[in-house]
Structure 1
Amino acid sequence: MSDTMNSCPTMPRLNELAPNFEAKTTHGVKKLADYKGKWLVLFSHPADFTPVCTTEFMAFAKHYPEFQKLNCDLIGLSIDSYYAHVAWVRNIKEKFGIDIPFPIIEDLSMKVANDYGMIQPGASDTSAVRATFIIDDKSVLRAMVYYPMSNGRSIPEFVRLVSALQTSDKNNVATPEGWQPGDKVIVPPPGDVNAAEKRMSEGYECTDWYFCKKSL
């Protein structure tokens, strides 16, 4: 094996600029800078023409309008050729009646996959695992989730997570487990003893001084 395959993957870090990329895709050459001002979900899959990946791509396509409403684009990636991507997209249209409306990166060199830590020694040396990266409108990496090759992702969770991140940014709040738009949000805990003393009388729905919710 090459040194690249034997080395530990490069791991991007949350709240830092996402690794830059410029790559051939099914929609022409795309680069990270093309998405400045929009949110982006970049996700990898092990291989074209595989059943689990096919279900994921159809689900991403189904939820594409929801991502678009959140000012969020999608872009897929696998270590397959452009021609394989095109053939697979056409096959999904023919066999399942679903159009794939977003681009898929050709990454035969594995450059993008390695830059994003999509190659996981012990899980896969020559294919990208199921990695998902949420990048905000300033090209900052905000979330990343890795799945094993054997199990598909739940795409509605990524719609929910993009919405939650945008809500937190806009309102300076946190969101509880399973939060959905319209649910109450969590007020940041007080920063000192005096603020803690005042918290219970500030009009929030409080269980205790550190645990308060409010409606937006």
Structure 2
Amino acid sequence: MSLHLGDIAPDFSQDSTVGPIEFHKWIGNHWAVLFSHPADYTPVCTTELGSVARLMEEFKRRDVKVLAVSVDPVSTHKEWIKDIDDTQKTHVEFPILGDQDRKVSTLYDMIHPRQSDTLTVRSVFIIDPKKVIRTILTYPASTGRDFGEIFRIIDSLQLTDRYSVATPANWRSGDDVVISPAIKDKAALGAKFPKGYKEIRPYLRMTPYPGP
């Protein structure tokens, strides 16, 4: 199944390390990150899940719930978590889905046959409270994810949902932003952007970070 930005994230029910999860119900009115890892007891995955565990306060601050998945069973996940906690000096509390039947992996196109017929690639789906897919990232199995970049994307999505702006290259939360070209009226610009703006070109206008 090929998924695109703007699609409703496929719903599913699957067992996890914290018990059965009905995905849409589990998301509720929050944002969510669904990410896959190729297999348990693998080195890169161990560092990734440890990083996520250490970053949980950052996810919570953004109202984001986190859900991992691999094709290994829940019983193996629970044993592996002991290794993650020990080697990464953290405590994994977020759920990890068991996906032995490949249900979730198939729904989200996480198995790429030219990489592996059985193991998932490192997929990331950022999903908003309306259950809409807002970002899709795919990493090769050999490359660990940059969770700073994932936070940057979430910050951008949440900011641009609130204001008529976009975020430029290499943007970080607090930096200047781009005003939407759809806003033509200068009086409207003054009302929407009380911090002022700089017109570099008629189609390229920058304004200070509009958030608090």
Is the TM-score greater than 0.5? Answer: yes
Residue in structure 1 matched with residue 160 of structure 2 by the alignment: 168
TM-score (norm 2): 0.90
User: Does the alignment pair 1:57 with 2:44?
Assistant: no
Task: Pick one of 22, 26, 46 that aligns with 2:17.
Answer: 26
Residue in structure 2 matched with residue 46 of structure 1 by the alignment: 38
Unmatched segments (≥5 aa) in structure 1: 1-9
Q: Secondary structure at the match of 2:5?
A: coil
User: Does the alignment pair 1:74 with 2:66?
Assistant: yes
Seq. identity, %: 37
Paired with 2:85 and 2:51, the residues of 1 have a C-alpha distance of 13
Do the aligned residues in 1 keep the contact of 2:15 with 2:21 (CA within 8 Å)? Answer: yes
User: Does the alignment pair 1:185 with 2:157?
Assistant: no
Do the aligned residues in 1 keep the contact of 2:121 with 2:140 (CA within 8 Å)? Answer: yes
Paired with 1:208 and 1:94, the residues of 2 have a C-alpha distance of 54
How many Å apart are 1:190 and its aligned residue?
Answer: 4.0
Do the aligned residues in 1 keep the contact of 2:36 with 2:68 (CA within 8 Å)? Answer: yes
Paired with 2:88 and 2:201, the residues of 1 have a C-alpha distance of 52
Residue in structure 2 matched with residue 5 of structure 1 by the alignment: none
Residue in structure 2 matched with residue 213 of structure 1 by the alignment: 206
Q: Which amino acid aligns with 2:22?
A: K
Paired with 1:60 and 1:89, the residues of 2 have a C-alpha distance of 12
How many Å apart are 1:156 and its aligned residue?
Answer: 1.1
How many Å apart are 1:205 and its aligned residue?
Answer: 1.0
Residue in structure 1 matched with residue 193 of structure 2 by the alignment: none
Aligned residues: 202
User: Does the alignment pair 1:135 with 2:137?
Assistant: no
User: Does the alignment pair 1:13 with 2:4?
Assistant: yes
Task: Pick one of 180, 195, 204 that aligns with 2:197.
Answer: 204
Q: Secondary structure at the match of 2:166?
A: coil
Segments of 4+ moved more than 4 angstroms = none
Paired with 1:14 and 1:95, the residues of 2 have a C-alpha distance of 36
**Alpha-carbon displacement from aligned partner over 1:159-193 (angstroms, at most 9, x marks no partner):** 111111000001121111121221111101147xx
